[in-house]
């Protein structure tokens, strides 16, 4: 019944991508994407924040995203937004869907070999003060509940060994002294010419007027400490990863 309703709602779209087994579709879709979509969504499909154009490599992480729902958004646009409807032939829309599938964020496909329960303990000892998994833990760093399905294992390893090498937007570090002479360290959640919105190292959201601050520095060092081999061995990191993977499986 649901499938019938979906197909009745759009005379032209099929529920399944008819090109999903065609290896050429993603390449052809990429050409269309670069000519038609990249101005807003970026040449790498990762979006442009300044114009609210979303990162399209992350759309597949949402469980409600299907080939057909992506087809419909390309076809109909998003009303009241800069995202227009597109009159491409169906086949070309499906090529775009294939392309977006091909660039979708791919996490760790293989089963990570590690001790899940030891990983859970290590996570609680080293990570959970700042990172949340399945609703428990801190908020200073990103929620890691489904991180293994979004990031490759080597990327996660390097984030632990050298967290300052690449710091995501909304986690950029800052430190300053307030008018009350309090030393504050935190991550920048938002900022304009006059004000700064910060999560401080106590994980409290705080707003500041810039003219009331002194010694404001953005030194580029992540608030996350680096974990070299002597603090977390490779096998211990694997244990943590297997714990995170077991969690994202649920």
Binding site for another protein (CB under 8 A): 31, 34-36, 38-40, 42-44, 48-53, 76, 78, 80-88, 191-195
State in angstroms the smallest separation of the CB of 4 from another protein.
23
State in angstroms the smallest separation of the CB of 203 from another protein.
24
CA–CA dist 228, 57 (Å, integer): 30
CB 147 within 8 A of CB 107: yes
DSSP state of 98: H
84 or 225: CB nearest another protein = 84
DSSP state of 174: E
State in angstroms the smallest separation of the CB of 76 from another protein.
8
52 or 212: CB nearest another protein = 52
47 or 107: CB nearest another protein = 47
76 or 162: CB nearest another protein = 76
2 or 193: CB nearest another protein = 193
DSSP conformation letters of 19-73: TTT-TTHHHHHHHHHHHHTHHHH-TTSS-BGGGTB--GGGGGGSTT--HHHHHHH
State in angstroms the smallest separation of the CB of 225 from another protein.
24
- In the structure encoding, which two tokens stand for residue 189, read together? 């959640």
State in angstroms the smallest separation of the CB of 138 from another protein.
27
Residue 137 — left, alpha, or beta (φ > 0 → left; ψ -120 to 50 → alpha)? left
């Amino acid at each position: 019944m649901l499938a019938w309703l979906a197909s009745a709602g759009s005379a032209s779209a099929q529920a399944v991508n008819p090109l999903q087994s065609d290896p050429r579709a993603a390449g052809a879709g990429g050409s269309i994407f670069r000519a038609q979509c990249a101005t807003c969504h970026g040449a790498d499909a990762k979006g442009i924040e300044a114009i609210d154009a979303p990162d399209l490599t992350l759309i597949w992480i949402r469980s409600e995203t299907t080939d057909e729902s992506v087809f419909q958004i390309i076809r109909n646009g998003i009303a009241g937004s800069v995202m227009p409807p597109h009159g491409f032939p169906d086949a070309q829309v499906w090529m775009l869907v294939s392309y977006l599938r091909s660039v979708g964020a791919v996490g760790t496909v293989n089963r990570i070999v590690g001790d899940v329960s030891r990983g859970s303990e290590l996570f609680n000892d080293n990570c959970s003060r700042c990172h949340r998994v399945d609703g428990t833990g801190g908020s200073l760093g990103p929620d890691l509940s489904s991180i293994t399905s979004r990031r490759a294992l080597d990327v996660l390893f390097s984030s632990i060994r050298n967290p300052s090498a690449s710091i995501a937007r909304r986690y950029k570090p800052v430190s300053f002294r307030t008018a009350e002479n309090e030393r504050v360290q935190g991550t920048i959640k938002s900022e304009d010419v006059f004000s700064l919105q910060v999560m401080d190292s106590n994980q409290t959201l705080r707003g500041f007027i810039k003219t009331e601050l002194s010694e404001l520095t953005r030194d580029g060092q992540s608030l996350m400490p680096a974990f070299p081999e002597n603090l977390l061995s490779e096998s211990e990191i694997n244990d943590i990863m297997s714990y995170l993977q077991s969690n994202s499986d649920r």
